[in-house]
C-alpha cells in the first residue's frame, strides 16, 4: 500500500490554472411521438466518464462525459448526454525546467483537476438543463478518485490490446 504523503492544497493549486471550459455537447432527444414533462420522470440514472491527458508539456485536458438515463412514468426510457472539456495550464514549481507528462503528474494534481472539472460540470449541466426534462437531475457528489481509477482501467485495457 502506498504511503500517504502530506501535501498542502495550495501547493497543488499553485500548479493548476483553469484556462478554458467548452461544452462539447448537450443532447436531449426530441421524440415527437409523445410530449414528456419533467413531472413524468420517475428516476435518473447516471453513467459518468472522465478522460485526462496532457495536451502538450504545459497543458492538461480533462473531459467529463455524463450519460443520464431517464425512466419515464410510462416505463419508457430517454437517454441524454452532456460533455465538457476543461483545459488547465500546468505551472512548474520553482526550479523545474522540463514539461509535464501524465505519468509525471502527482495524484493530488490529477485529483484537483478532475475534482474542479466534475464540480463545474455539475453546475453547468444544472444551469443548461433549466426548462428541460433534466431540470430536476442533480449529479451526485462523487470522489474524483473514482473517475481517475476508471481512466487508469481504460488505459490499462488499451495497452493490453496493443
Q: What is the pTM of this model?
A: 0.81
Q: Which residues contact 52 (CB under 8 A, 6 or more apart)?
A: 60, 61, 62, 63, 102, 110, 113, 114, 148, 151
Q: Would you say residue 61 lies in a domain?
A: yes
Place of cell 467529463: 64
Q: Please write the tens of the pLDDT for every residue from 138-152.
A: 999 999 999 988 765
Whether residue 154 has pLDDT greater than 50: no
Residue pointed to by grid coordinates 443532447: 27
Q: Is residue 38 part of a domain?
A: yes
Looking at residue 23, what is its pLDDT?
A: 96
pLDDT of 92: 74
Residue 57's domain is classified under what CATH number?
A: 3.10.420.10
pLDDT at res. 103: 82
The pLDDT of residue 13: 52
* Inside any domain, residue 4: no
Give the side-chain half-sphere CA count within 13 A for 88: 28
Per-residue CA distances from 102 to 59, 61, 151 (Å): 10, 10, 12
Instruction: Assess whether pLDDT exceeds 80 at residue 11.
Output: no
Whether residue 21 is contained in a domain is answered as yes
Task: With a cut of 50, say whether residue 113 has pLDDT above it.
Answer: yes
- The per-residue pLDDT for range 46-95, each reduced to its tens digit, is 999 999 998 887 899 999 999 999 999 999 899 999 999 999 998 876 66
Count of domains forming the chain: 1
Half-sphere exposure of 50 (CA within 13 A, CB side): 28
The answer to whether residue 101 sits within a structural domain is yes
Contact criterion met (CB below 8 Å) for 119 and 54: no
pLDDT at 73: 92
Mean of the per-residue pLDDT values of the chain: 83
Which domain covers residue 42, as residue numbers? 9-161
Residue 50 forms beta bridges with which residues? 64
pLDDT of 10 reads 45
Give a yes or no: residue 106 inside a domain. yes
3-state secondary structure of 104: helix
Let me know if residue 102 belongs to a domain.
yes
Amino acid at each position: 500500500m502506498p504511503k500517504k504523503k502530506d501535501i498542502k492544497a495550495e501547493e497543488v493549486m499553485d500548479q493548476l490554472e483553469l484556462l478554458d471550459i467548452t461544452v462539447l455537447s448537450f443532447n436531449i432527444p426530441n421524440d415527437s411521438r409523445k410530449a414528456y414533462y419533467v413531472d413524468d420522470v420517475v428516476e435518473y440514472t447516471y453513467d459518468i466518464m472522465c478522460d485526462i491527458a496532457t495536451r502538450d508539456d504545459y497543458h492538461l485536458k480533462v473531459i467529463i462525459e455524463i450519460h443520464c438515463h431517464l425512466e419515464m412514468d410510462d416505463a419508457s426510457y430517454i437517454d441524454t448526454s452532456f460533455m465538457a472539456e476543461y483545459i488547465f495550464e500546468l505551472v512548474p514549481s520553482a526550479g523545474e525546467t522540463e514539461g509535464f507528462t501524465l505519468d509525471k503528474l502527482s495524484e493530488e494534481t490529477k485529483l484537483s483537476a478532475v475534482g474542479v472539472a466534475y464540480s463545474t460540470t455539475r453546475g453547468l449541466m444544472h444551469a443548461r438543463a433549466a426548462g428541460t426534462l433534466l431540470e430536476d437531475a442533480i449529479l451526485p457528489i462523487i470522489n474524483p478518485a473514482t473517475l481517475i481509477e476508471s481512466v487508469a482501467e481504460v488505459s490499462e485495457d488499451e495497452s493490453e490490446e496493443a
